[in-house]
């Protein structure tokens, strides 16, 4: 998957001066439950950026076409706030890409970053730790510095809003410290070749295993096979200094913008979890009648996502934590639902996401003495399944093995 030519050309055209002047370029991805339209961009700007005034200078749906965009194969909308451009476009798997530079007022830049916290139909994208880790190890010069921020953010049970089953209430009261662990964050700056040794020497192994990369700043240099060629002579491979956020934002800081575009494409091609999870999501096709009414034309059932937490025992702590996470959520986990069946520690929940109304049937059970979840998507897109999986790793335990299985086992009620 690549950053399409017309998108890259549009970024170059609208931000040419800022790129030449060495401004930071922000490429921020967000999941959206709504498609890109001029009216939605206008609503987003008015409701969440709140400028005194703004203009739309390019709209792929209308005659407001800018001369700067010569190819119009993808939906692209460009607005201006105080004469600074903000480019909006769509990417696969229900994502919006919002591009701007550091010339844009910092207040507006912060409001764009905070959209997932303020706008109910927008979520952060998720770039897996393994993907970021692999890229800086393979594409950052060994003698260049790498700055890594890692975070462990376990689920915190709020007593006022939690739901503790009566039969587990005594355990909860006697072991409350297990349910109120606080977020831990740590930073490391070291030459690339020393990263692994420095982490292993300076961080407790369990914390290192549980934590995930939240942000990484490094020099990116594409592989030699991607070197720029001029007149048949191999030129020096371009490179750039970048910051990659787990939430999907790539910041070009210095160097060649082409190298940063290459990095963005590499993140896309390596982050294949969406394609894997697509197998579990039911597929529906609709036909639209002249009256405007949509009718279901074809339906293909999905499968089931199985998650094994191989370092977490099947016990009271796991049952209480997961049943609350799947039904109550948290301020940064937009999840809610109900426990439909409980049999001692085992339970079945009906879990929904506020983002797009996705629904899941979730079975918590035991396998080999460890905690295990089966997640059956009932309604929604693969985006929501990835989000739920991300929050389970982030809030419960990141040490998992997962697979797509044909069906969910039955829960036997005693």
For residue range 302-324, list pLDDT tens digits in order. 999 999 999 999 999 999 999 99
Say if residues 100 and 87 touch (Cβ distance below 8 Å): yes
Q: What pLDDT sits at residue 87?
A: 96
Looking at the structure of the chain, the number of domains it has is 3
What pLDDT score was predicted for residue 69? 52
Domain assignment present for 306: yes
Nearest in space to 271 (alpha carbons), one of 139, 132, 91, 393? 132
CB contact set of 317 (below 8 Å; sequence gap of 6+): 171, 175, 178, 179
- Note whether 150 and 53 are same-domain residues: no
Low-confidence ranges of the chain (pLDDT < 50): 1, 70-71, 224-234
Task: Report d(CA 131, CA 170) in Å as an integer.
Answer: 42
299 lies in the same domain as 397: yes
The 3-state DSSP class for residue 47 equals: helix
173 alpha carbon, distance to own chain's centre: 35
365 and 263 housed in the same domain: no
The H-or-E segment that residue 66 falls in is none
pLDDT for residue 59: 77
Residue 133 CB coordination number (10 Å): 16
Pair 152, 265 in one domain: yes
CA distance 134 to 119: 32
Comparing C-alpha atoms, which of 237, 244, 189, 192 is closest to residue 216? 244
Question: Are 297 and 389 in a shared domain?
Answer: yes
Q: Are residues 266 and 388 in the same domain?
A: no
Residue 178 covered by a domain: yes
The answer to whether 214 and 248 have CB atoms below 8 angstroms apart is: no
Q: Is 178 helix (H, G, I), strand (E, B) or coil?
A: helix
The percent of residues above 90 in pLDDT, for the chain, comes to: 59
Token pair 């529906």 in the structure block, residue? 284
What is the pLDDT at residue 163? 78
Whether residue 116 is found in the same domain as residue 146: no
- How many Cα neighbours within 13 Å face the side chain of 379? 10
pLDDT for position 388: 97
Structure tokens at 22: 């060495």
In a domain, 348, yes or no: yes
Q: Which of these three, 124, 146, 169, is where a domain ends?
A: 124
Kindly state whether residue 410 falls inside one of the protein's structural domains: no
Helices 257-270 and 129-139 pack at an angle, to 10 degrees, of: 140
Task: Report if residue 363 sits inside a domain.
Answer: yes
d(CA 354, CA 394): 18
Indicate if 184 and 97 belong to the same structural domain. no
Q: Euclidean distance between the first and final Cα of the chain, in Å?
A: 50
Is residue 168 a contact partner of residue 316, using CB atoms and an 8 Å limit?
A: yes
Whether residue 208 contacts residue 195, with contact meaning beta carbons closer than 8 Å, is answered with no
Domain end, chosen from 124, 157, 178, is at 124
Note the pLDDT of residue 229: 40
Same domain, 298 and 234: no
- CATH label of the domain that carries residue 73: 3.60.90
pLDDT of residue 232: 45
Q: Are residues 212 and 254 in the same domain?
A: yes
Cβ atoms of 214 and 132 within 8 Å: the answer is: no
pTM above 0.75, yes or no: yes
My answer on whether 148 and 94 are in the same domain is: no
225 within some domain: yes
- Domain end, chosen from 212, 246, 271, is at 271
Contact 26, 14 (CB under 8 A): no
Q: Establish if 413 belongs to a structural domain.
A: no
- pLDDT, residue 295, reads 67
- The CATH number of the domain where 302 resides is what? 3.30.310
What are the residues facing 184 on neighbouring strands?
Answer: 152
Residues 54, 108, single domain; the answer is yes
Note whether residue 374 is domain-resident.
yes
Residue range of the domain that includes 54: 5-124
pLDDT at 410: 84
């Amino acid at each position: 998957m690549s950053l399409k030519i017309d998108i890259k050309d549009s970024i170059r055209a609208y931000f040419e001066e800022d790129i030449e002047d060495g401004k930071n370029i922000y490429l921020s991805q967000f999941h959206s439950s709504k498609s890109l339209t001029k009216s939605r961009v206008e609503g987003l700007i008015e409701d969440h950026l709140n400028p005194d005034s703004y203009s739309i200078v390019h709209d792929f749906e209308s005659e407001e076409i800018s001369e700067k965009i010569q190819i119009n194969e993808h939906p692209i909308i460009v607005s201006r706030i105080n004469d600074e451009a903000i480019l909006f476009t769509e990417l696969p798997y229900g994502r919006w890409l919002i591009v701007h530079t550091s010339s844009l007022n910092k207040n507006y830049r912060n409001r764009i970053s905070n959209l997932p916290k303020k706008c109910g139909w927008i979520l952060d994208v998720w770039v897996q730790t393994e993907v970021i880790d692999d890229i800086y190890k393979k594409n950052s010069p060994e003698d260049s510095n790498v700055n890594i921020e890692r975070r462990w953010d376990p689920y915190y049970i709020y007593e006022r809003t939690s739901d503790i089953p009566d039969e587990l209430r005594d355990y909860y009261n006697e072991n409350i410290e297990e349910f109120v662990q606080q977020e831990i964050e740590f930073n490391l700056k070291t030459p690339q070749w020393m990263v692994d040794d420095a982490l292993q020497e300076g961080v407790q192994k369990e914390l290192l295993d549980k934590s995930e990369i939240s942000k990484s700043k490094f020099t990116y240099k594409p592989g030699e096979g991607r070197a720029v060629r001029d007149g048949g002579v191999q030129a020096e491979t371009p490179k750039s200094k970048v910051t990659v956020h787990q939430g999907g934002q790539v910041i070009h800081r210095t160097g060649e913008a082409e190298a940063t575009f290459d990095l963005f494409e590499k993140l896309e091609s390596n982050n294949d979890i969406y394609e894997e999870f697509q197998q579990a999501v039911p597929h529906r096709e609709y036909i639209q009648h002249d009256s405007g009414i949509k009718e279901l034309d074809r339906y293909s059932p999905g499968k089931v996502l199985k998650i094994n937490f191989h370092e977490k025992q099947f016990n009271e702590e796991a049952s209480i934590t997961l049943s609350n996470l799947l039904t109550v959520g948290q301020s940064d986990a937009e999840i809610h639902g109900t426990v439909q069946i409980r049999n001692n520690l085992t339970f079945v929940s009906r879990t929904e996401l506020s983002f797009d109304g996705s629904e899941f049937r979730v079975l918590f059970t035991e396998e080999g003495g460890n905690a295990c979840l089966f997640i059956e998507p009932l309604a929604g897109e693969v985006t929501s399944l990835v989000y739920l999986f991300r929050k389970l790793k982030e809030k419960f335990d990141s040490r998992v093995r997962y697979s797509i299985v044909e069906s969910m086992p039955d829960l036997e009620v005693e």
